[in-house]
Chain A
Amino acid sequence: MSSAKPILRCDARQPESKQMPVSSTSSKLIYDALKECDIRLVSALPETWLVHLIRLTDEDPEMILVRLAKEEEGVGISAGAHFAGVKSAMLMQNHGFLASINGIVSFAHLYKIPLLMLISYRGSIGERDPWQTQGGNVTEPLLRALGIPYFFLDALETVKKRIRQAQTLAESSLQPVALLLTRDLMWEE
């Protein structure tokens, strides 16, 4: 596999064909931190910034990767994993978070299910894709409205500690905790 290559062509919806500078260094750091937290199941729906993370998950025989049709399924799958005593994480774009809200409220919140949600924060400053921008506007207000603690993954030095801390909080509080994957961390240009 081309795991050493930081450049990947991966989004057919890009207005012009170009190379995607998704950071493989940051992705590897995030992945290793998840493993160190004893995460053994990851649900995911692909998006550009998550390609390396999904590939790392897929290639790891110790990890269960569940590729979803819609992100909300991941809430139920993580709940099942929690009942089974398996720690899990959800990889999604912020629009996938929007698509998961009923599951979060009427399952994870109602039944006190810990969720570790890694959400790529599209549509924020620096975003070139017009279709991502509205979701970018509402991501943080919605997280606040839902009472979901959220933190940023925005620098290599703090990734490992923040993931550990978010996972610890999700487990101790039995609730969803979000980590927003920022452009500064995920995009190399």
Chain B
Amino acid sequence: MLRLDCLRSVYLELENCLVVTIMGAVAAELHSLGHRPNFFYLQHAMGMASSTGLGLALCLPEQRVIVFDGDGSLLMNLGSLSTMARYRPKKLLHVVFDNESLLSVGGFPTATSTGADLEGIARSSGIPRATTVRRVESFKDAVTAALEGNELTTIIAKVEAKGPAAYVTDLSLLENRFQFRRHIQSLKAR
């Protein structure tokens, strides 16, 4: 299963969500499908994407929030799972693309390649719904179900360690950040 195919399969469903991604392949691939003002790419600060999604979800409880996380990033901030589980915002969806690798720095294997089970860790941290998917159709179904549901969900998507040709996009970090905030403020003004 390719991450890009997963992202493509749910791209249309992202329109009414606030989307936070980690750096590297996830950001570059989502951007390549077409940037939108409701997408924020956290191009560093590994581990902080899930915390950012939690902050958004706690402050905007009626708003759908999706975090596209990765195994390397989540392993740097496993405590975030227990913090999300503690407050369990109903409309927060946490997707973890697990390629068992730190791909953008050369493909070094992460601990999920040697047996660390992120679904099990999420479940044991108290995340009410945690699941693992290995096919694009199951990924799409799991995301759709979570977006229609009303429960904090973590989806572990096992994907191949393949990334885009380039990781740099033409969107500057600050442009993205200011556009994202302005977009949210415009939603609140409606």
Q: Which residues of A contact B (CB under 8 A)?
A: 40-41, 64, 66-70, 72-86, 88, 102-103, 106-107, 110-113
Contact = CB atoms under 8 A, between A and B. Distances in A.
B110 interface: no
Contacts of A106: 44-45
A68 B177 CA distance: 24
B48 A79 contact: yes
Contact of A73 (B58, B60, B79): B79
Contacts of B52: 76-77, 79-80, 83
B173 A41 contact: no
A82 B181 contact: yes
A76 B48 contact: yes
A106 B76 CA distance: 14
Contact of B79 (A64, A70, A78, A79): A70
B99 interface: no
B139 interface: no
B58 A111 contact: no
A103 B52 CA distance: 11
A67 B177 CA distance: 26
Interface of B: 18, 20, 40, 42-45, 47-60, 77, 79-80, 82-83, 86-87, 173-174, 177, 180-181, 184-185, 188
Contact of B77 (A73, A79, A80, A86): A73
Nearest to B188: A85
Given A40-B59, A78-B55, 7 more contacts: A66-B55, A76-B48, A76-B80, A79-B48, A80-B55, A83-B180, A110-B43
A35 to B, nearest CB: 17
Contact of B184 (A69, A76, A83): A83
A68 to B, nearest CB: 6
10 contacts: A68-B83, A70-B79, A73-B77, A73-B79, A75-B45, A78-B55, A81-B59, A83-B40, A84-B60, A103-B48
B54 A77 contact: yes
A43 to B, nearest CB: 8
A67 B83 contact: yes
A7 B50 CA distance: 37
